[in-house]
Structure 1
Amino acid sequence: MAESRTQSFYNITPFQQIISSCTGALITSVFVTPLDVVKIRLQAQQKAKLSNKCFLYCNGFVEELCCNFHAGGSSAVSSPYWYRPPGHLTGTLDAFVKITRAEGVTSLWSGLPPTLLMAVPATVVYFTMYDQLRQLVLKKYHFDHQPLWLPAVAGGMARAIAATLISPLELVRTKMQSQKLSYLEIRQALKNLVLTQGLHSMWRGLGPTILRDVPFSSLYWLSYEFLKQKFHQQQPTFWFSFGAGATAGSFAALLTLPFDVVKTHRQIELGEMEALYSKQRTSTYSLLRNLYQSSGYRALFTGVVPRIVKVAPACAIMISSYEYSKRFFHNYNNSRTLYNSL
């Protein structure tokens, strides 16, 4: 039994794990960013409807009509102009068409630079830590087989650490994807946010992010490892990893979507006057309750189609490329060991 337990791991170094995770992260980020933009636009539209406000766009801020922004005691509003969104978005396909027509095809990759900056450190920490924690527990307690609670716990812990590290980049990415903004406007909004609420405000939306990502990761790894055990795939093939990753990701994404909606609502407040000067923060529970009271369960699952359409292939690409790369390095290390022994 000890033999089968050790064979479930690839004989690779932590550095090779890092390279394996980076490959999948870069491919996945480029592929799924347009789907993320559509999902966030749909959720941002929902937030604007709930707030029942008319917005004015000026100097990098989305402000209430007729509001005045003051910095250092003097008015900072100059040359205001209307921000005209692509129009009412009725669904995923409609959002793709209207955003492309109003803002150009490149707007579908809004926030790609911070997404890429997030993908590498987040994925490295997440996947490497997950594998290391799982192996550590199995080796320390000498389990005959992997208990299903172990991937759930290891996945949740790894995601909590990774999400905390990249939360400021997630804030910038979400705001950039919620509407068409320049980097200068984002920078100005961040500057005023930090000046008025402190450095900790850069972690706005971390609570809902943790509530979304930790259960997602626990459910995802639990489902994925269950499928591996069910079909006896200790070292899974590329296509098995692809299918199992898509299935596990879709299941986890659906169950955790309400927290994704709340996280988006929190983070697109960046630059809004109400968010800058509000002394009280609405709790996650209150936001969920308000969403439910406004439109029922449907409001809690806004953007469900683009999220699942995004998450399923993202998880499939990420885990299959990760497993394939690990298998490549495993075979490479074994061939080197055999060559050196001759």
Structure 2
Amino acid sequence: MASQSSSSRDSITPVQQMVASCSGALLTSLFVTPLDVIKIRLQAQKIPLTKGKCFVYCNGLMDHICVCENGNSRAWYKPRGHFSGTLDAFIKILRMEGIKALWSGLPPTLVMAVPATVIYFTAYDQLCAAFRLQMGERAEMAPLLAGAVARVGSATLISPLELIRTKLQSQRQSYRELSAVIRSAVHTEGWLTLWRGLGPTLLRDVPFSAMYWYNYEKAKAWLCQYNKISEPTFSITFISGAVSGSIASIATLPFDVVKTRRQVELGELQAKNLSPRASSSTYNVMKRIVAESGVRGLFAGFMPRLIKVAPACAIMISTYEFGKAFFRKQNQERPVLTLQTNNTRSL
């Protein structure tokens, strides 16, 4: 009976999990967004973006398709001088455009990526706890299964919003016209059009999530055992998140390359009000990449992806675990405070 009471105090509620994951998502967005803004600005000066062209903007939490328009003031692709490298770009953007330019694209992150991350992390924790109870001796596989299922759910929920947001950007419409966009797309192409692009997203994100959570839990447990402590510290969760994120990003890189290419193609077709071609399927995109650049083309962008994913995973998971530890401590102290208050009233 006492152990049951103790476990209930040590656990945290789904709402507290949501608050913890929301904090992690906000911090990750704030830290990683400048890195991707600089990366896109460097890429744009090598291959100038013409009107109607698309590029993928990713802040460590979520991908966003952006349509380039001449004369647009979005700082991530508006040409402003020449950059010789990452540090030079950072200094010149600060000097010429101000500190706000480094966080261009943060609003769509806060609107879409943060809710998606909250759903994903909360679902993972709830599913992992349930799978551990059901799987018994094979409970160590629970993080792998929970990570995969949680990612399928969150990606499926957010996919229609991502497609609609791309249409709004490409066609210069306001959010008030959102319902008209939905009705038009469904009427012309059916309900499944809202989930276009979900296939390559799942091919990349589901294996990534499964490997990430499995390796993260293993690394965290090993580091705790090595340091002879029962609860992971902030540094342990940070290192575990960075290592597991790096492994998962390397393993799923070909799917990331295919997904990025397909996203850009779909975005450009939507900007021109054209229907997607059959050749835009995941398999055909992969064949085209191999034909153009060889097998090495499927591993393009290895270092930039690693540099961005590792710190993003580390910041997100360590902040999330810190938030959960904070709420867990609050829950443990609450019964003590309640007992002291009752004793004071009785006196």
**Superposed pair shares fold, TM > 0.5:** yes
- Indicate if the aligned counterparts of 2:148 and 2:209 stay in contact, CA closer than 8 A: yes
- Indicate if the aligned counterparts of 1:33 and 1:112 stay in contact, CA closer than 8 A: yes
- Alignment of structure 1 residues 155-166 onto 2, 5 Å: 155-166=147-158
Q: Which of 122, 127, 135 matches 1:133? A: 127
Letter in 1 for 2:86: L
Q: Please state if 1:213 is matched with 2:205.
A: yes
Q: Which has the higher contact order (CA 8 A, sep 6+)?
A: 1
**Structure 2: how far apart are the matches of 1:249 and 1:133?**
20
Q: Name 1:280's counterpart in structure 2.
A: 278
Output one character per residue of 1:51-100: Cα deviation in whole Å (capped at 9) or x when no partner: xxxx862xxx449xxxxxxxxxxxxxxxx96999759x999839957995
- Indicate if the aligned counterparts of 1:24 and 1:318 stay in contact, CA closer than 8 A: yes
Q: Which of 275, 280, 303 matches 2:301? A: 303
Output one character per residue of 1:19-73: Cα deviation in whole Å (capped at 9) or x when no partner: 1111101111122123344666789999x99xxxxx862xxx449xxxxxxxxxx
- Alignment of structure 1 residues 79-158 onto 2, 5 Å: 93=86, 96=89, 100=93, 104=97, 108-143=102-137, 146-147=139-140, 149-158=141-150
| Greater percentage in helix | 2
Letter in 2 for 1:115: T
Q: Name 2:216's counterpart in structure 1.
A: 224
Distance 1:280 1:235, change over 3 A: same
Q: Name 1:32's counterpart in structure 2.
A: 32
Letter in 2 for 1:29: S
**Structure 2: how far apart are the matches of 1:308 and 1:329?**
32
Count of residues in Structure 1 that have an aligned counterpart in Structure 2? 304
**Structure 2: how far apart are the matches of 1:45 and 1:203?**
33
Q: Which of 252, 256, 274 matches 2:252? A: 256
Question: Identity over the aligned pairs, expressed in percent?
Answer: 46
Letter in 1 for 2:327: F
**Structure 2: how far apart are the matches of 1:111 and 1:86?**
16
**Structure 2: how far apart are the matches of 1:174 and 1:41?**
20
Q: Name 2:172's counterpart in structure 1.
A: 184
- Indicate if the aligned counterparts of 2:131 and 2:146 stay in contact, CA closer than 8 A: no
Q: Name 1:339's counterpart in structure 2.
A: 337
Letter in 1 for 2:235: W
SS of equivalent residue, structure 1 residue 276? coil
**Structure 2: how far apart are the matches of 1:235 and 1:17?**
18
**Structure 2: how far apart are the matches of 1:341 and 1:291?**
66
SS of equivalent residue, structure 1 residue 211? helix
Output one character per residue of 1:286-335: Cα deviation in whole Å (capped at 9) or x when no partner: 21121122112332223322222221111111111111111111111111
Q: Name 2:242's counterpart in structure 1.
A: 246
Q: CA deviation at 1:341?
A: 3.8
TM-score using structure 2 length? 0.71
